[in-house]
């Protein structure tokens, strides 16, 4: 009897790093829910951002076809990963099994989540406050990562998410740090983009800081810059930013 070949690889740091990068850098994804009338799967495209710990965030209207499905059955699936050039199936993507949680307006969580989502999708400010729109957190329960041909992994929620204690610690300081960096240290942000992101020079802005790294944007372009090592405490953030800027200046000769 022929032994069945195991196609799932053991999860390693490279796999978890890739999955987190796909989640953190995604601007759009495919959301699948169960239609409350037919019970059939229904997929649609949604704009995506992440909370401080990496939990995906979406902003949806009650008039959208997928919102009744989320409200009737919180189970859903989110596919992230852009196809890029060449064969779309050769590019990495991650499918995340999630449990959706509606974020109540006026709550402390709502303020933070709205800020992070709108930093990633500033054009959504035009309709984000309409009465029929609401934010949902899509809590990961597990994932299937395809890193390209022959690179399949199964991941847990812990594999996907950043340190929750550090994320909670950043909740009170992240917004101020982002505003300060954009107002007073635009030169450092540009260095991060050029050195770590291998991006062309431009007026890059910082849109978010989390335990694993930084989110940068220039118009519709986004960059994900990882810290040399994840933060072990929220108080390490400033030191890490300063050290990264110094490394960039040395590497670029500036």
With vertex at residue 172, the alpha carbon angle to CA 27 and CA 156, rounded to the nearest 5 degrees, is: 50
The domain defined by 170-252 folds into Split barrel-like (3.20.180)
Phi-psi region of 62 (alpha: psi -120 to 50; beta: other; left: phi over 0): alpha
Q: Distances in Å between the alpha carbon of 218 and those of 57, 72, 74, 221, 224?
A: 21, 38, 34, 5, 12
Give the residue from 19, 8, 7, 9 showing the smallest Cα distance to 157: 19
Of the CA atoms within 13 Å of residue 248, those in its CB half-sphere come to 22
Q: Which two tokens stand for residue 22?
A: 């796909």
Whether residue 82 contacts residue 95, with contact meaning beta carbons closer than 8 Å, is answered with: no
pTM of the model: 0.93
Domain locations in the chain?
13-161, 170-252
Tens of each residue's pLDDT in the chain, 254 residues: 455 567 888 989 999 999 999 999 999 999 999 999 999 999 999 999 999 999 999 999 999 989 999 999 999 999 999 887 888 888 899 999 999 999 999 898 999 999 999 999 999 999 999 999 999 999 999 999 998 777 899 999 999 999 999 999 999 999 999 999 999 999 999 999 999 999 998 999 999 999 999 999 999 899 999 999 999 999 999 999 999 999 999 999 88
Of the CA atoms within 13 Å of residue 64, those in its CB half-sphere come to 21
Give the integer Cα–Cα distance in Å for 211 and 237: 8
Burial of 150 (0-12, 13-18, 19+ CB in 10 A): exposed
The domain defined by 13-161 folds into Pnp Oxidase; Chain A (2.30.110)
Residue 27 CB partners (closer than 8 Å, separation 6+): 47, 48, 49, 120, 121, 220, 222
Q: Which two tokens stand for residue 117?
A: 């989502």
Beta strand spans in 131-204 (E): 133-146, 152-156
Helical pair 186-195 and 174-184, crossing angle rounded to 10 deg: 90
With vertex at residue 234, the alpha carbon angle to CA 233 and CA 239, rounded to the nearest 5 degrees, is: 90
Q: Distances in Å between the alpha carbon of 149 and those of 11, 143, 177?
A: 16, 17, 40
């Amino acid at each position: 009897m022929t032994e069945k070949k195991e196609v799932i690889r053991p999860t390693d740091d490279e796999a978890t790093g890739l999955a987190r990068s796909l989640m953190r850098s995604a601007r759009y994804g495919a959301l699948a829910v169960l239609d409350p009338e037919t019970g059939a799967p229904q997929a649609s495209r949604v704009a995506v951002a992440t909370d401080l710990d990496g939990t995906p965030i979406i902003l949806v209207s009650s008039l959208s076809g997928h919102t009744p499905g989320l409200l009737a059955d919180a189970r859903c699936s989110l596919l992230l990963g852009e196809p890029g050039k060449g064969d779309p199936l050769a590019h990495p993507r991650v499918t995340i099994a999630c449990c959706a949680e509606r974020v109540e307006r006026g709550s402390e969580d709502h303020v933070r989540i709205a800020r992070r989502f709108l930093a990633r999708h500033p054009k959504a400010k035009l309709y984000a406050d309409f009465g029929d729109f609401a934010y949902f957190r899509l809590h990961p329960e597990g994932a299937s990562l395809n890193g390209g041909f022959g690179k399949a992994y199964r991941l847990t929620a812990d594999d996907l998410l950043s340190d929750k204690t550090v994320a909670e610690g950043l909740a009170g300081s992240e917004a101020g740090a982002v505003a300060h960096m954009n107002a007073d240290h635009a030169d450092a942000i540009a260095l991060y983009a050029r050195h770590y992101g291998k991006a062309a020079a431009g007026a890059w802005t910082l849109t978010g800081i989390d335990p694993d790294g930084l989110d940068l944007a220039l118009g519709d372009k986004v960059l994900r810059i990882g810290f040399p090592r994840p933060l072990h405490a929220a108080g390490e953030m400033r030191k890490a930013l300063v050290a990264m800027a110094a490394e960039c200046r040395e590497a670029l000769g500036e």
